[in-house]
């Protein structure tokens, strides 16, 4: 990559119409950008058809270039009724991880972010229990213990919001955080909260999904990573996976096997989110692969 060149990511979602790619490519070409990766998905030119695009490009935009490029994109965004995002790829995201007592998903995130497999850092950990403070201390990550009861929930969430902002965390990850967030909290961070639910949604919504799965005698258990919305376990799905089981597996076996699925599904979802590979469309997602 030439000197003084940065890599950028551009995400676009709009109604599908002819000329979108040409318009975007023309802008990037005028800025001297070298497109290094390009993905697009079209639902077709029907009345409700959508167009999604992800581009990575290298450009020497200088100090004022990103604002100039953003202005040019906005000029074409208005006639196309386009939602778009321009991100600097070398700026890793800062994560706030919420946990309760289970440590497997947190451990996976810590390991992958420390190795650089996920382009992000864990900026702080928030928990309604103190069990995992020693783990946070081992990685030298600030740990906040905000107990949650019916009486303290609003205050605990307010304290959590302040901590997230103080640490400049862009993405919130619920790594087996066994509390339901309020509508106010969720609306404060739209499409920025990722949860891991220990079932293959939409099956077994809510608490104790492994108990529900065992009672039904399922042959597949799974995990689902999704964006959090005001509707419990019903937000746009980012990633899912399953593990086959049979009549010999007891409840503890389902939990043990499920932990392996949960940790990897959540890690993949976080990786794709911080790499700007996920576009939300209503209650669905478009995920551009590596």
**Crossing angle (nearest 10°) for helices 104-115 and 251-274:** 30
Taking a C-beta distance cutoff of 8 angstroms, is the pair 196, 266 a contact? Answer: yes
Selection from 232, 239, 216, 129 nearest residue 180 by Cα: 232
> DSSP H helical segments within 50-182, as ranges?
65-80, 104-115, 133-138, 153-166
Taking a C-beta distance cutoff of 8 angstroms, is the pair 114, 107 a contact? Answer: no
Angle at 61 between CA 57 and CA 63, to 5 degrees: 140
DSSP 214-254: HHHT-SEEEEEEEE--SSTT-SPEEEEEEEE--TT--HHHH
**What amino acid positions are annotated as catalytic residues?**
233
Strand 50-59 with 34-42, pairing: antiparallel
182 DSSP assignment: P
Distance CA 110, CA 116 (A): 10
Paired strand residues for 38: 55
Distance CA 172, CA 209 (A): 23
């Amino acid at each position: 990559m030439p000197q003084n060149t940065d890599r950028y990511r551009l995400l676009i979602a709009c109604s599908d119409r002819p000329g979108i790619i040409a318009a975007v490519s023309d802008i990037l070409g005028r800025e001297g950008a070298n497109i290094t990766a390009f993905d697009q998905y079209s639902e077709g030119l029907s009345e409700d058809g959508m167009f999604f695009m992800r581009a990575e490009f290298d450009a020497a935009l200088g100090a004022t270039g990103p604002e100039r490029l953003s202005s040019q994109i906005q000029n074409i965004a208005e006639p196309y009724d386009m939602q778009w995002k321009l991100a600097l790829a070398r700026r890793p995201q800062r994560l706030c991880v919420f946990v309760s007592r289970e440590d497997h998903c947190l451990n996976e995130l810590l390991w992958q972010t420390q190795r650089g497999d996920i382009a992000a850092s864990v900026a702080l950990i928030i928990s309604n229990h103190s069990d995992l403070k020693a783990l946070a201390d081992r990685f030298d990550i600030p740990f906040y213990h905000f107990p949650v009861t019916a009486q303290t929930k609003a205050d605990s969430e307010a304290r959590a919001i302040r901590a997230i902002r103080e640490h400049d965390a862009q993405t919130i990850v619920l790594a087996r955080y066994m509390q339901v967030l309020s509508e106010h909290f969720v609306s404060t961070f739209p499409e920025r909260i990722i949860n891991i639910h220990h079932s293959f949604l939409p099956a077994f919504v809510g608490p104790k999904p492994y108990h529900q799965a065992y009672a039904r005698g399922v042959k597949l258990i799974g995990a689902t990573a999704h964006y959090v919305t005001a509707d419990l376990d019903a937000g746009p799905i980012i990633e899912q996976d399953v593990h086959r089981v049979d009549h010999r597996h007891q409840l503890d076996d389902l939990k043990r096997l499920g932990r392996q699925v949960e940790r990897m599904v959540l890690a993949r979802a976080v990786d794709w989110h911080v790499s700007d590979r996920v576009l939300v469309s209503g209650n669905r997602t478009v995920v551009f692969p590596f």
